[in-house]
Structure 1
């Protein structure tokens, strides 16, 4: 028995007229290629799972998209060299824009194999910019151990909020005022936007 999700039925029914036959066809091919696949919704779009996310599809006002979760690990001439939209096959406006059923089924089998082997896509984390404490703040923190201790315990995002607030000041007078407030709040263990934080 195919594992059908009624939410996918609703998604297809609510799609544009041109999109319905495309989505139904793609859905049928996924089930044909992978009888053990399960349907679900991911990011409000139909997705197919088999030992992890396998592939997904989406419809928009003027085109559809079909995407393999691990496309970067699948070699195929079926994938357009230049991406024109989200998805593995670019913008799909009709069934004619899709590769042959045989090709799509072959790609689904390759995606299944990757999941069966537990092969993951390496996500390269972007190196975070180093936090540079301006001299004006560094000098004041040296004079105040309590404020410095609070500042050191803060995550990078909280440190940046204080640094940007001070360095973005338009005049020296404003900068000095913000610096004094920063030290005062740090002594109280407060973050830059403490006024807007929900009370627990």
Structure 2
């Protein structure tokens, strides 16, 4: 295959970190991680589980640790790129090849692999249970409705409750309850028509 010098690497968004990213790759190759391409970037996996990724951005190139929240980070290198969005991912940014200390980088990667082996992951947060006082009243008055509602799988019950309780005013909640009662009795889930 003929290489095209103009072809940009997908993982180097701005194409000005080629040498630096190849240097990072050469360090990662000393570990037991296997390179794959996901989301248009090199992601390194252990036992098919994503451990780290690398990429180039406008002002820096970085290694991101997909479960970086578990790293001890004794050298205080890691940052959370999106505070409110990412619970577990952490980034180590560099602005030049000289900043990459191979020994430190390998230490962090090996710790990340170790954490993966131990299965350290953040479980997705459980949805809060929703209670609808108005629907409960309705079900007390109508045992058939209660029985029909209980036949639904928990996620479908949740969808009904969320639909009712996301209304701000009681009168809206009541009109929504009126709308869903025939569906519940007919054993039709709130979002079935979209499924």
Query: TM-score normalized by structure 2?
Result: 0.71
Q: Is the 8 A contact 2:62 2:91 kept in 1?
A: yes
Q: Is the 8 A contact 1:142 1:148 kept in 2?
A: yes
Instruction: State the Cα distance separating 1:18 from its structure 2 match.
Output: 2.2
**Which residue of 2 is the match for residue 137 of structure 1?**
135
Instruction: State the Cα distance separating 1:180 from its structure 2 match.
Output: 2.4
| Greater strand content | 2
Distance 1:81 1:171, change over 3 A: closer
**Which residue of 2 is the match for residue 41 of structure 1?**
37
Q: Is the 8 A contact 1:65 1:87 kept in 2?
A: no
Q: Is the 8 A contact 1:38 1:50 kept in 2?
A: yes
| Greater helix content | 1
**Which residue of 2 is the match for residue 77 of structure 1?**
74
3-state SS of 2:42 partner: strand
For the aligned residue pairs, the C-alpha RMSD in angstroms reads 3.2
Moved over 6 A (4+): none
Structure 1 unaligned spans of 5+:
1-8
**Which residue of 2 is the match for residue 106 of structure 1?**
107
Instruction: State the Cα distance separating 1:132 from its structure 2 match.
Output: 0.8
Q: Is the 8 A contact 2:16 2:56 kept in 1?
A: no
CA distance, structure 1, for counterparts of residue 64 and residue 188 of structure 2:
45
